[in-house]
Amino acid sequence: MGIWRLGKTFYGKIIVVNSYEPKKQMIMKKMIILLGVLISLLPTTIVAQKKYFNLDFEKADTSGKKICTWEDQNRGTLFNIDSTKSDTGKSCLLMMIKHVTGYATYNMLLPKTYYSGMRTINISVKIQMRNTTPNAGLWCKIKNDNDLLGYASTIKGSIPSPIIPYNGSNTTNVPVIPYTWTSYNFEIKIDKDPTEVMIGLFLANDRAWYDNIKININGKPVKDMVFEMAVDN
C-alpha cells in the first residue's frame, strides 16, 4: 500500500498527498519505454524474409535453376515486391530511398556457369519513375581478375558503389514520362572469358519500379536463373 502524508495547507485546507503515486508513475514510464524498444526491434526479425523470384519479379521455383542473390550496397533502402503494378505479370520491384538524401544500388553476381565463352552480354529492363528527370537505371561491370573488361550504364554519370566510371560518351538519358514503363538496354562486348559479371539496379533519389529484366549471352536468352531476395513486409 502507499504511504499517505499531509501536505501543505492551501487556502486553509490540508492537502493529502499519496507518496506511492510518483513511484507508480515512474514504473509505468519505464514500462512504456521498454515496450517501445521492443517494438522497434520487431522489424529486424520480420523484415528479412528470403524468397525466390524470376527476372520478371514473380515467385519462382528453384528446381533445376541457377540461384543468385541481390545484395544491398547501402542498407538504407526499401527493396520490395510491389503487387499493385507491373509491366508484365502480377508484380514488379520497388526501390525507395528511406532518407532524404543519398543513393541506392542493388547488385547481383551472375553465376559463373555462364562465363565460359562469353563474348557479348545484352541486358534490358523496364523502369517506371515518378518524375521527368531520370533517377534510376541499370548497370553492368565485367572483370577478369583485376582487369576491367567492360562496363555500361543506362543512366548518365558515375555510380559510386561499386565504382562505375562516367561513360557519357555512349550513354544518353532516355526521356521519361512519369508513371510510364520505359525500356532501357545496353550491350557489352568482351574479348576473353570473365571471372566476374556484376549486374545492378541504381536509384539516385526518391523511388522507382523495375520489371521484366532480360539477359542475353552471345545472343541466347538466360531462362534458367532465379534469384534469392530478402524483401520487406
- DSSP assigned state of 32: H
Quickly state the pLDDT bin for 3 (edges 50, 70, 90): very low
Does the structure show a pLDDT above 90 at 155?
A: no
In this prediction, residues 17-39 reach a mean pLDDT of 62
Q: How far apart (Å, rounded) are the C-alpha atoms in residues 109 and 142?
A: 10
Q: Within a 13 Å sphere around the CA of 50, how many CA atoms are in the beta-carbon half?
A: 9
Residue 84, C-alpha cell as written in the block: 499493385
pLDDT of 16: 46
| Cis before 221? omega within 30 | no
With a CB cutoff of 8 Å and minimum separation 6, the contacts of 130 are 178, 179, 206, 207, 208
Q: Are 229 and 53 in contact (CB under 8 A)?
A: yes
Contact between 178 and 102 under an 8 Å Cβ cutoff? The reply is no
Collapsing DSSP states into helix, strand and coil, what is residue 168? helix
Helix %, strand %, coil % of the chain (to 5): 15, 45, 40
Read off the pLDDT of residues 65-119 as tens digits, 9 standing for 90 and up.
Answer: 999 888 776 666 788 899 999 998 899 999 988 765 567 888 899 999 999 999 9
Mean pLDDT of the chain: 78
End-to-end CA distance of the chain: give it in Å, rounded.
47
Q: What is the grid cell recorded at 207?
A: 523511388
Domains of the chain: 4-41 (no CATH), 49-231 (2.60.120.260)
Quote the cell numbers at residue 6.
499531509
For 100, the grid coordinates are: 532524404
Its pTM stands at 0.72
What is the mean pLDDT of the segment spanning 177-191?
Answer: 91
Give the three cell numbers for residue 68.
543468385
Q: What percent of the chain has pLDDT over 90?
A: 36
The amino acid sitting at 38 is: L
Could you report the per-residue pLDDT of 42-63, keeping only the tens digit for each? Answer: 544 444 567 899 999 999 988 8
Say what percent of the chain tops pLDDT 70: 66
223 vs 156, residue with greater confidence: 223
Cell numbers representing residue 224 in the block: 534458367
